[in-house]
Structure 1
């Protein structure tokens, strides 16, 4: 019965993506089926062996160490501002972008990132049927985060047409940053964190290739243009300033979006006696069932899904921890992989703000298709949960 529900769930997710497609005739079935099979294989390996988990944990440990280095600079400048034991989002999450940006600049300067872009992008593009840049961007999003990733391609941003820009942004919203994986692992089982990261990578391509199908020619895909020649310290200063601009703009966008969501919840509660978040929870209950969650637990699961959508994944993970004792292991696994992504309303502001900080015109373009981005990224999370439901 569980397999039958999972199959129906898979069909529904792909159907919802197809409904939103901007060019249904151009959707390529073969790479989509190939990526679904890869997802199933990877989910089985990651949830039943220790090999994949050990590799991802090693990478996460490395990025956690980088954030510790970044924290040295933040503490030097802002030490004493935060109360002991507190976790100010701006100081601990956004300001480290400056250090990550500097590191990205160095890796670009010494030709490491262009090398990664060429070969990993080439390998993934053979599977997903998309361009090398899109493939590289998906991997980079998982490594450096949804804001920082655009710094790695800032030289190419201005050249991208809207359809390719959409795919880059969709990847950024569908993944999570290695820098915060350690924090996730303190709230939910590490094996679900790792599984979601890997499965989302291919899920992002699957949904994007249905909603936003296109073919990239060899001529169009050569976007790794030669950067202007700069001295090391000239380059370093530029990337540090870019990182600071991204951090400030993202902070401004977050303040606005989070405040608007709080106001919307309050308004719905005043008028209807139930918050906007609560209403969306009931809306998500059928999707929870299609993801393999038992009917008796679907409303609770739907509420957690809604919490993630209207707030962020951290709040959703805390909500899951609060009710985990009342849920089955199957439901916990399915919902755990759902919440591991940046698919929420505030991410629209984060991504458009990050792009706007590097290229104003392209940032405005991202803002225009923001809701479609969120729709697609949410389908990626649902697809990942459906894939995992086959294995659990």
Structure 2
């Protein structure tokens, strides 16, 4: 039955992308690339969930990030003192301390990898491999790899010399990749709220899913003379080790504070809306309940049981209108009432930056690099969220094949 629902989910996702396609005939010609990417997703997910090697890799990665969180806890406890209750396992769970502040430590490690030239080497190598698999130009392949490690802003900065040379279709692909990914600095934070295996699976599945959706919704071919190389734009060039380390630590702190501020604002506003809706005579539904019912059919065709589709739809809608952290926090209070398969699919769906707020982040970043390109992205902002949401849906559907 899982296989049947998975096939239905894939076909429905393809259909939703097909409806919004800019060139359906050209999209159909990409079927070989799409089929290969689907096969790779299924093979990867099988390795992660059905083999000893895959499970061992997940356990090792979870262990590493767990240790990083422990060490981050030592730093947090030193700064905040009695506000943090330290014990053998780290410290008592407080969202800001346990989830957000460790971002600073991960960001510092990213800075070290950048300084040692390790991360750029990995990104370029993976970009070359992806260009062979996806059939897309190197810029798109490089950007897909970079989006797995860098934030929505940093990934565009790494291509600042190429951005002015790209047209609308190629900018859509780059933006969809940025919105469908997460940054490496967020991985540990997500692992405190979701099962590590689903976070790891989502990172790779989203990487491949975005190429599938883009092949359908935004197909194009790149002339040989426009297949630019990703000349590295290194904003850290000439800086000393401690300058780079300080910059990345500062960036991590800024991210932690910004996310914290957004969570306070979004959660408070949702609470206000929930109460306002409950004041309407005869209406016994909150704002979030209504969102859940709107997304309920989508959750159902993904393969989530009808009895759980409203709650799953609520989480999906919450992520879309707020951000993934708000949805993940809500997920904690209801996940025990959901089946393991629904938990897996929802978890994978939540791991990305696909929400309305990301439009502003991407447009603002690109406008800062090249004003005309930023304005171009702003024009297809809603379609960008639509495509990135389909990426999350497709990744969640693939997971559904392997969790019962």
TM-score normalised by the chain length of structure 2: 0.78
Contact 1:97 1:148 in 2 (8 A): no
Which whole-Å CA distance do the structure 2 matches of 1:25 and 1:299 have between them? 36
Aligned length: 387
Alignment-derived partner of residue 216 in structure 1: 222
Contact 2:138 2:230 in 1 (8 A): no
Give the superposition deviation at 1:257: 11
Q: Map Cα deviations across residues 185-228 of structure 1 (whole Å, 9 max, x no partner).
A: 22222111111111111101101111111112332122334769
Tell me the SS of whatever aligns to 2:222.
coil
TM-score normalised by the chain length of structure 1: 0.80
Alignment-derived partner of residue 130 in structure 2: 124
Alignment-derived partner of residue 36 in structure 1: 38
Q: Which moved more, 1:119-128 or 1:166-175?
A: 119-128
Which whole-Å CA distance do the structure 2 matches of 1:206 and 1:7 have between them? 15
CA separation of 1:316/1:87 partners in 2, compared to 1, >3 Å: closer, same or farther?
Answer: closer
Which whole-Å CA distance do the structure 2 matches of 1:366 and 1:69 have between them? 40
CA separation of 1:57/1:214 partners in 2, compared to 1, >3 Å: closer, same or farther?
Answer: farther
Tell me the SS of whatever aligns to 1:120.
helix
Matched, 1:288 2:294: no
Which whole-Å CA distance do the structure 1 matches of 2:215 and 2:229 have between them? 20
Give the superposition deviation at 1:160: 2.1
Give the superposition deviation at 1:270: 3.6
Alignment-derived partner of residue 311 in structure 1: 322
Give the superposition deviation at 1:309: 1.5
CA separation of 1:280/1:380 partners in 2, compared to 1, >3 Å: closer, same or farther?
Answer: same
Alignment-derived partner of residue 193 in structure 1: 199
Give the superposition deviation at 1:239: 11
Q: Which moved more, 1:159-168 or 1:356-365?
A: 356-365
Alignment-derived partner of residue 10 in structure 2: 10
CA separation of 1:241/1:43 partners in 2, compared to 1, >3 Å: closer, same or farther?
Answer: closer
Matched, 1:51 2:53: yes
CA separation of 1:222/1:237 partners in 2, compared to 1, >3 Å: closer, same or farther?
Answer: farther
* The one of 373, 378, 382 aligned to 2:393: 382
CA separation of 1:373/1:48 partners in 2, compared to 1, >3 Å: closer, same or farther?
Answer: same
Matched, 1:184 2:190: yes
Mapping for residues 248-287 of structure 1, pairs under 5 Å:
266=272, 270=276, 273=283, 274-287=285-298
Which whole-Å CA distance do the structure 1 matches of 2:235 and 2:193 have between them? 45
Give unpaired runs (5+ residues) of structure 2: 85-91
Which whole-Å CA distance do the structure 1 matches of 2:103 and 2:334 have between them? 30
CA separation of 1:218/1:303 partners in 2, compared to 1, >3 Å: closer, same or farther?
Answer: same
Provide the aligned C-alpha RMSD in A.
4.0
